Amino acid sequence: MKLADTTLDVDARRLTRDVAIAFSTVVKRFDTGTIALDGIDLDVHRGDFVAVVGPSGCGKSTLLRMAAGLERPTEGSVALATDSVGFIFQEPTLLPWRTVRANVELSAELGRGDAAVRKARAAEAITAVGLDGFADQLPRSLSGGMKMRVSLARALTLAPEVMLLDEPFGALDEMTRLDMQVELHRLYSNKGFTSMFVTHSVSEAVYLANRVVVMTARPGRIASVIDIDFPHPRSPGLRFDPKYTEYVAQISNSLHGSTR
Ligand SMILES: Nc1ncnc2c1ncn2[C@@H]1O[C@H](COP(=O)(O)OP(=O)(O)OP(=O)(O)O)[C@@H](O)[C@H]1O
């Protein structure tokens, strides 16, 4: 079991067999004096899909970056039970001179491993995200949604146990965004990775997550954690379920209360 660099001794106790990411009384104070996060206690269980919503600047990205080991907490600790992690950002960050296939192969190329296995995994990931037939194209010929699919495929080649997603669909138009939510949900249901997903969209959070964490305005604290009691796999028609609307209202109220 790997513990992130940021780990203090207390982490080992929080990381039980069921916990993939453990935040223990995390405080993040930047050198500028900004206190981004204050007293975050959160366990992300294996197989969970946790969505994090909160006002702009409340520290959502910082939380995710700490899970990835890209930031250290000022106080408290963050522990990750695996080093098998995929990170997806809002921008797909593709290399423009490489084809879809070559972009997807990139993350595996940076790691170790057999070239043939790497290529097979990339081909499988391209199929998994529905990009068969586009593998030899360059990013400039793809739509925004397709670029995001490439980014997902690139992360999938590593068969990550944990997927960290920072507003991956924020730059997409509404229709594409809904399609990508269905796509991500399908991948999550099939592959079973643990997910931590930052979004500004309450509706997106309810569709995808089995737990939604609502944060307060900065310094970010956890205002509420709401369990979304819909079975998996979920269908797009779920959005018309009255219970769905109730969850959206409940979370929006918590969010609204947290910004006052
Ligand atoms: N490297 C840094 N140095 C100084 N301050 C930072 C740094 N990174 C983030 N911050 C500050 O910390 C706070 C939280 O930022 P963060 O990006 O985590 O918020 P967020 O909730 O993800 O915001 P948004 O929803 O707008 O993307 C903000 O006030 C931001 O300005």
Q: pLDDT digit string (tens) for 190-235?
A: 888 999 999 999 999 999 999 999 999 999 999 999 999 998 889 9
- Say yes or no to pLDDT of 136 above 50: yes
pLDDT at 114: 79
Atom of ligand 1 at shortest range from CA of 58: 21
Q: Is 22 helix (H, G, I), strand (E, B) or coil?
A: strand
Residues with CB under 6 A from ligand 1: 30, 32, 34, 36, 54, 56-62, 218
DSSP 219: S
pLDDT: which is higher, 14 or 109: 109
To the nearest whole number, what is the mean pLDDT of the chain?
89
Which atom of ligand 1 lies at the shortest distance from residue 54's CA?
21
Sign of CA dihedral 17, 18, 21, 22: negative
Least confident of 14-28, 32-46, 161-175, 215-229: 14-28
Whether residue 109 has pLDDT greater than 80: no
Residue 45 CA, chain-centre distance (Å), reads: 14
- Among 104-113, 139-148, 163-172, the least confident range: 104-113
Q: Whose CA is nearest to atom 7 of ligand 1?
A: 30
Atom 1, ligand 1: residue with shortest CA distance: 30
Domain with CATH 3.40.50.300 in the chain: 1-18+44-84+160-260
pLDDT of residue 71: 93
- pTM here is 0.90
* Pick among 3.40.190.10, 3.40.366.10, 3.40.50.300, 3.30.70.600: CATH of 1-18+44-84+160-260: 3.40.50.300
**Per-residue pLDDT, 260:** 53
- In what helix (H) or strand (E) does residue 45 lie, and over which residues does it extend? strand 35-45
Is the confidence at residue 8, as pLDDT, over 50?
no
- Is residue 147 pLDDT above 90, yes or no? yes
At 74 the pLDDT is 96
Tokens of residue 180, six digits: 């990508």
Give the residue whose CA is nearest to atom 28 of ligand 1.
Answer: 57
pLDDT of residue 259: 55
The residue to mutate among 30, 52, 53, 202, having the most atoms of ligand 1 within 8 angstroms of its beta carbon, is 30
Bigger pLDDT: 84 or 36?
36
Strand partners, 88: 165
Give me ligand 1 centre to Cα 151, in Å. 23
